[in-house]
Amino acid sequence: MANKKGNNGGRTQQQINDSKDYSTFKVVFFYCSLIVFLPVATFFLLKSTVLERFFTMSEVTTNIYSAVGAVVALHLALGLYIYRAYFGGALQTSDTYKKVD
């Protein structure tokens, strides 16, 4: 009986751990895909829109503005991730400590 109870407790703890891992994975995956795809999307989007709107610009200028925009978007996404890791990570750590106690 006691063994069964312990087993159930172990299972629920395992499920809690799994769901926590899954939520961490979701957050990390979201930010990593944002960091990988946002600059590429920004580059080509900016290139096409700037080309369409200011058609008088030369191709070199358009390319430069899109490259700078892509790099700025990349650093915004990275800053967002570091912010989340710094503040979200602290919350997670305190939660874990509470559960251990």
Binding site for another protein (CB under 8 A): 21, 24, 27-28, 31-32, 35-36, 39-40, 43, 59-60, 63-64, 67-68, 70-71, 74, 78, 81-82, 84-86, 88-89, 92-93, 96
Of the two residues 8 and 29, which places its CB atom closer to another protein in the complex? 29
Residue with tokens 């709107």: 53
Q: Shortest approach of another protein to residue 2 CB, angstroms?
A: 29
Q: Shortest approach of another protein to residue 3 CB, angstroms?
A: 27
Distance between CA atoms of 29 and 25, rounded to whole angstroms? Answer: 6
Of the two residues 8 and 49, which places its CB atom closer to another protein in the complex? 49
Distance between CA atoms of 50 and 26, rounded to whole angstroms? Answer: 34
Q: What is the 8-class DSSP label of residue 84?
A: H
Residue with tokens 């925009």: 69
Q: Compute CA distances 56 → 26, 48, 65, whole Å.
A: 44, 13, 14
Q: Shortest approach of another protein to residue 70 CB, angstroms?
A: 6
